[in-house]
Amino acid sequence: MKNFLINGVIFLSCLLILSIFFPFLAYAGHNFIPIPFQIILHYWNNACFPYEYLFVASDSEKKRIFSEGIALLLNFLQWILFASVYAFFMRHVKSKLVVIIISLIILSILPIVLAYSFMGMGFKIAVE
């Protein structure tokens, strides 16, 4: 149980660090980072915590899918679930490789974004 909690905390700490670090990296590296990567880094949090920015396009406007409270709860539950799955599989591994955690975080976002886009939903930067 102790290893499970430690692994979960390590995973969530890496998520928090990436959420803070990537937008600053985009700003600091604007002279040498290609523009598509700057956009990905800058809007990392929109893809990482997607439920607040999901919308469905209707004929005349884009409508938000979730309220702010529900979106916050879904973001929290999503990452608690991912951290729990990671902690479960890593509970007997002695070395906690941060590179593996960061790779899993980045790779776990891609299917989420693709799944919502296949269902006709998109992400909007600012929702009125």
Contacts of residue 127, defined as CB under 8 A and 6 or more positions apart, other chains included, come to 52, 53, 55, 62, 64
The rounded mean pLDDT for the chain is 80
CA separation for the pair 45, 50 (Å, rounded): 8
The predicted-structure confidence for 81-95, as pLDDT tens digits, reads as follows: 988 888 888 877 766
Say what the pTM is.
Answer: 0.72
The predicted-structure confidence for 14-62, as pLDDT tens digits, reads as follows: 888 888 888 888 888 888 888 878 877 888 887 788 788 777 766 667 7
For position 128, what pLDDT does the model report?
A: 42
Residue 43, judged by CB atoms within 10 A of its CB (0-12, 13-18, 19+), counts as middle
